[in-house]
Structure 1
Amino acid sequence: MSSLSTPRTSIGRDIQGRIYRAGVFGHRPVVPVEPAALEAAARRVMGKEAWAYVAGGAGQHRTVAANVDAFARHRIVPRMLVDVASRSLETTLLGRTLPAPLLLAPIGVLEMAHAEAEYAVARAARSLGIPMVISTQGSVPMEETARTLGDSPRLFQLYWSSDEAVVRSFVERAEAIGSDAIVVTLDTHMLGWRTQDLDLGYLPFARGEGIAQYLSDPTFRALAAARPASTEPTPRPTVAAVRSLLSMVRHHARWGGSASFRESLRSPLPRASVETFLEVFSRSDLTWADLARLRTMTSLPILVKGVQHPADARLALEHGVDGLVVSNHGGRQVDNAIASLDALPAVVEEIDGRVPVLFDSGVRSGADVAVALALGADAVLLGRPWVYGLALAGEAGVRAVLEHLLAELDLTMGLAGVSSIEAIGRDLLDS
């Protein structure tokens, strides 16, 4: 039974007590509880390419740092002698009752962190009833992830491809797997200047990693199959080139149809699929008016992710979105950008409760979640920390990270004199 199986929860005390009782017998938590220790432990086990991709940011990483540092500018002011013996983390989002105001943010190429990738993450999410936002850049097709999730809630994050037929196919598949909403990422219509990835010359998609949604999509496969053969001369092979080719072939054999590894090795399709993906991944000519076209493709709620400016929040409302996510992609797109937490209050004021406002970027703890909720977020998306848990201990690591965060949120609420998510407001903070 899930630790969040009842509306009135004592998850903070339960998880805390479990850790201390295990400590009597010399056992330590599955993954480090302290956020900096969790990050450091994950760095030790992840490959250099995986670490750069997950932990890295744009430019000099000033936005990554700003996202985290922004929380220190908002202090919780606890209230005393309030009856908080019974507390609830339960909330409602998009008409669905959730055990907590927490979702797993969409993160791609999870195979870089752990071989079980989305399978492990989905099992952890299902065990707690926490919604998972499935990434377009998944290492596992969305149908496989959905089967693993069972009846646990899921949303689908969409990168809007330059090929509209691929977009439509992805949306139809997202509907078919029971997604609660489509989350359109706005801030990655081109890749940011990610210095750590560039220093390694490493883009996982160019090796067939993180493109399982495409390789498993019939519309995309037809597009790749129709691609004319390359007429460019083949460079002299290197060890790295051979490894990259074998990676393309392995991924194509697994998700690209019925071909075996040997058949894929002889086929031009693995390389054609990667090249087609790199051509159609995204587009930079979209405007707010294009959301109307997406609306014709689906009856699902549409959320937009990457909003930082209140004027964009207003435009989102004018174009009929059903919710938005205040996010700067975890600092991975624009260096020296405003911290997401600093952007949140003005966006919340502009939206004025008309649609849900979600938040991500910089969340590392349950106290951080409390601050974001106090500043007006309806729910929070957690990113890097659960990937670190995945790298360290697979499903158990993801679950442990989520439990630690929820336990701290529960204890923070109780110690601050708040017994429900609805009761968290600006008066929880000193400014």
Structure 2
Amino acid sequence: MSDQGTGHDPVRLEEFAELARRTLPREVWDFIEGGSGEELTLAANRAALDRIGIVPRVLVGGTACETATELLGARAALPVAVAPMAYQRLVHPEGELATARAAAAEGVPFTVSTLSSQPVEAVTALGGTTWFQLYCQQDPAATADLVRRAEEAGCAALMVTVDVPSMGRRLRDLRNGFALPSDVTAVHLDPAGNRRAGDRQTGVSAVAEHTAETFARSLSWDDLARLRGETRLPLIVKGILDPGDAATAASLGADAIVVSNHGGRQLDGAVASVDMLRAVREAVPARCRVLVDSGIRSGTDVLKVLALGASGVLLGRPVLWGLAADGGPGVSRVLRLLRTELRSALELSGCSGPADAPWLSVLGAAR
């Protein structure tokens, strides 16, 4: 695969974005790339990462640099998992199956969404490490069924998303009157409800309307405690920015926290995820792992968040860029490039692997 505009294969993740943009219909590109409101938080995620500087160490006498680590008890080729992302068949016919196959080949966990357009059983059959992302439903029995289904399919962790009582106002989708094509559905949800997501109306996001009718809007800490008691899987709580919320989640048995503003797709004006990372890490016990997402675009970004105390990152949009550009091979190219970048960043900063990164000093990070 080469970039026809520049005559070379992509050498940075952002170059996959242009390949994807050329490939996808405009409304699909807007759906995966856009944020909520005026997209202030979307921009803030990148600005926050860009202002962080690493202080490299020298003459450390290290051996060959490695990128491998452990994420929630599983060996990973780099401290990265593929983030949960909905309706991947919008960008490629195989959708989540192509992405999961590539993630397994490259040795990183793949998170299958409640809003996946391919079934979790087909994903886990590919043999990689699979986490299941849960949106709690208005019907508690339906939520319990999803949890059991994930367990029976062989998922290695359960990731509950807690920052979507309703979907943020994504203005690109409203302007486009975005709706799903008839051949793309959330296969884990009720088929009758799925029809709402394909009901195109001017000035309305049918996907947001479907979400409003399906997801629980009144979750509480009691619900999280109940979920902890109902599953044997490691529990990841995604969508936390406040350190007090992180501490409460950990006290209720969360095994990991994902510091996340949903990639700038929920509350516009929310703080950048990386700006809350250090405070969240300090608020939870060492046993509780801390991951981060929103705006990660390079191996250097990964090194920055590792230096701030994260165990790893969830990678979102760049994976979809690779999927749109070249299916599973495109996703593999994205992950391999990220691994190359991370290895270089680790080596040039004086680290022999991800475990050394917390010893680095960083400037410009929020306290």
Match of 1:335 among 257, 268, 273: 268
Q: Structure 1 residues 406 and 428, CA, compared in 2 at 3 Å: closer, same or farther?
A: farther
Distance 1:382 1:337 in 2: 19
Shift in Å, 1:83: 2.5
For the Cα contact (< 8 Å) 2:56–2:360, is it kept in 1?
A: no
Query: Mean alpha-carbon deviation: is it higher for 346-355 or for 381-390?
Result: 346-355
Distance 1:403 1:192 in 2: 32
Partner of 2:309: 376
Partner of 1:78: 56
Map 1:193-232; keep pairs closer than 5 Å. 193-204=169-180, 209-214=184-189, 220=190, 224=192
Q: Larger % of helix: which? A: 1
Q: Does 1:125 align with 2:91?
A: no
Q: Structure 1 residues 276 and 420, CA, compared in 2 at 3 Å: closer, same or farther?
A: closer
Q: Structure 1 residues 278 and 364, CA, compared in 2 at 3 Å: closer, same or farther?
A: closer
Shift in Å, 1:187: 0.8
Q: Does 1:298 align with 2:276?
A: no
Match of 2:163 among 187, 192, 208: 187
Letter in 2 for 1:213: H
1:7-29 Cα deviation digits (max 9, x unpaired): xxxxxxxxxxxx9xx9xxx9842
Shift in Å, 1:413: 0.6
1:119-147 Cα deviation digits (max 9, x unpaired): 11111011111100111111101111111
Q: Structure 1 residues 282 and 75, CA, compared in 2 at 3 Å: closer, same or farther?
A: same
Shift in Å, 1:35: 3.4
Distance 1:93 1:116 in 2: 26
Distance 1:90 1:116 in 2: 28
Match of 1:159 among 131, 135, 139: 135
Q: Structure 1 residues 286 and 212, CA, compared in 2 at 3 Å: closer, same or farther?
A: same
TM-score scaled by structure 2?
A: 0.90
Quote the RMSD (CA, aligned, Å).
2.6
1:81-113 Cα deviation digits (max 9, x unpaired): 222441222222222222221100000111111
Shift in Å, 1:40: 2.2
Letter in 2 for 1:157: Q
Distance 1:207 1:334 in 2: 29
SS of alignment partner, residue 76 of structure 1: strand
Letter in 2 for 1:110: Q
Q: Structure 1 residues 343 and 203, CA, compared in 2 at 3 Å: closer, same or farther?
A: farther
Query: Mean alpha-carbon deviation: is it higher for 34-43 or for 45-54?
Result: 34-43
Structure number with greater Rg is 1
Shift in Å, 1:280: 4.8
Partner of 1:178: 154
Shift in Å, 1:210: 3.8
Shift in Å, 1:426: 5.2
Match of 2:356 among 423, 426, 431: 423
Distance 1:319 1:362 in 2: 29
Letter in 1 for 2:68: E
Distance 2:56 2:354 in 1: 15
1:385-428 Cα deviation digits (max 9, x unpaired): 01001000001100000110111000111111110211111534
Distance 2:211 2:295 in 1: 29
Partner of 1:410: 343
Distance 2:338 2:148 in 1: 34
Match of 2:329 among 396, 412, 419: 396
Letter in 1 for 2:132: F
For the Cα contact (< 8 Å) 2:261–2:294, is it kept in 1?
A: yes
Q: Does 1:102 align with 2:80?
A: yes
Distance 1:390 1:398 in 2: 5
Q: Structure 1 residues 275 and 341, CA, compared in 2 at 3 Å: closer, same or farther?
A: closer
Shift in Å, 1:66: 0.5
| Alignment: residue pair count | 353
Distance 1:279 1:62 in 2: 23
SS of alignment partner, residue 159 of structure 2: strand
SS of alignment partner, residue 103 of structure 1: strand
Q: Does 1:139 align with 2:117?
A: yes
Partner of 1:265: none
Distance 1:210 1:63 in 2: 28
For the Cα contact (< 8 Å) 1:375–1:426, is it kept in 2?
A: no
Partner of 1:88: 66
Partner of 1:259: none
Q: Does 1:44 align with 2:37?
A: no
Distance 2:152 2:219 in 1: 26
Distance 1:126 1:134 in 2: 13
Distance 2:165 2:208 in 1: 17
1:278-309 Cα deviation digits (max 9, x unpaired): 56521111101111221333111111100000
Q: Structure 1 residues 57 and 327, CA, compared in 2 at 3 Å: closer, same or farther?
A: same
TM-score scaled by structure 1?
A: 0.77
SS of alignment partner, residue 386 of structure 1: helix
For the Cα contact (< 8 Å) 2:13–2:334, is it kept in 1?
A: no
